[in-house]
Amino acid sequence: MSPTELKRHLRGVLAFTVTPFRENFELDLPGLEKTVDRLCRSEVNAIFCTGGVGEFYALDLEEYREVIRAAARAAQGRIPLVVGVGQSTDIACGLARVAESAGASGLMIHPSYFVDPSLEGIVAHFQALSKATSLGQIVFSTGGFAYSPEMMLRLAGIDSVVGLKDEIGDLKIFVATVAALGDRMAWINGMAEPLAAAYFASGAGSFTTGLANFCPEIPLAVLQAAQSNDGVALQEVLSRKVMPLARLRSKRKGYSTAVIKEAMNLLGFPAGPCRLPLTPLLPADREELKQILIELHLPQP
């Protein structure tokens, strides 16, 4: 898939998969393939693997390659599969080549961590990736790696850079950046369901979700309500189905991923434990999650 084609597909609901592990913390690749296949049969618009909820940072390089290949094998080109790549420039380029050879549709470039590169270093990183593969690239900005209109204007000079995933949550910066670049980029709300309407009103065309791992119907309902400007329906699905899970995910550090995986485990989907340094839910929080799932009346496999 060309960068231009990838950009056109970055609309609606973008599902971020977990990386399932067995109880001994080994990869569960058949479990990953089942998750990807199930998402392909839902109405989500694209799938992202080896992202934050996919615990990319906990994979060694061979496991990383195996996860990419398994996800691509399961997707079979039915909907776009975007692969998160990161770490040093050389490692990211190597993973990008694996993604392209496996049949992935595009790349999401993880933020730098520990190091704080200059703007010149950031641009050089994306330029190197553009030479390593022909795949389109999405800038992933979060935490200590905040984007700016200046940074995005520089990266827009690289043809393969076609999107921004904003996990900062600062709508002032987002609106200013959209105004500076217009439709040059696909604008992605990385703050998920709770801010879907606000980001759509500010120029985003899609939002990310981890809930789709066990219930794609929830983000799809959010999308339908937000796009139809049905405020009553949107508040209903947010208050009843999204916010109880969102509050639990924000309750303790590491719960953003741990709650998703434990919900999948409770519902019978392949997920398994998180790898350290993430830790399991506390018993009381697990009971709270069980009650939330009961009240949601979610289907099981």
Query: Residue 242 has what pLDDT?
Result: 98
- Condensed to tens digits (0 to 9), the pLDDT of residues 207-266 reads 999 999 999 999 999 999 999 999 999 999 999 999 999 999 999 999 999 999 999 999
Q: Count of CB atoms within 10 A of residue 76's CB?
A: 12
Reply yes or no on whether the pLDDT at 298 is more than 90. Answer: no
Q: What is the Cα gyration radius of the chain?
A: 18
- Condensed to tens digits (0 to 9), the pLDDT of residues 30-61 reads 999 999 999 999 999 999 999 999 999 999 99
Rounded to whole angstroms, how far apart are CA atoms 104 and 108?
11
Query: Residue 271 has what pLDDT?
Result: 98
- Condensed to tens digits (0 to 9), the pLDDT of residues 166-204 reads 999 999 999 999 999 999 999 999 999 999 999 999 999
Q: Count of CB atoms within 10 A of residue 135's CB?
A: 24
pLDDT category of residue 301 using cuts at 50, 70 and 90: confident
Reply yes or no on whether the pLDDT at 144 is more than 90. Answer: no
Contact present, 228 and 286 (Cβ < 8 Å):
no
- CA 223, 294, 232: angle at the middle one, nearest 5? 35
Task: Find where tokens 């992935």 sit.
Answer: 104
Query: Residue 252 has what pLDDT?
Result: 97
Q: How far is CA 121 from CA 6, 114, 126, 156, in A?
A: 25, 14, 9, 15
32 is written with which tokens?
């990953």
Reply yes or no on whether the pLDDT at 300 is more than 80. Answer: no
Alpha helices, DSSP H, located in 77-118 = 89-102
- Delineate the domains of the chain, giving CATH numbers in brackets: 3-226 (3.20.20.70)
The DSSP annotation for 244-271 comes to HHHHHHTTSTTHHHHHHHHHHHHHT-S-
Reply yes or no on whether the pLDDT at 143 is more than 90. Answer: no
3-class DSSP state of 101? helix
Q: What percent of the chain has pLDDT over 70?
A: 100
Task: Find where tokens 């993604």 sit.
Answer: 99
Burial class (CB in 10 A: 0-12, 13-18, 19+), 277: exposed
3-class DSSP state of 254? coil
What is the average pLDDT across 141-162? 94
What does the H/E/C string look like for 61-82? HHHHHHHHHHHHHHHCCCCCEE
118-122, 129-133, 141-145, 223-227 — which is least confidently predicted?
141-145
Beta strand pairing status for 136-142 and 206-209?
A: unpaired
pTM of the model: 0.96
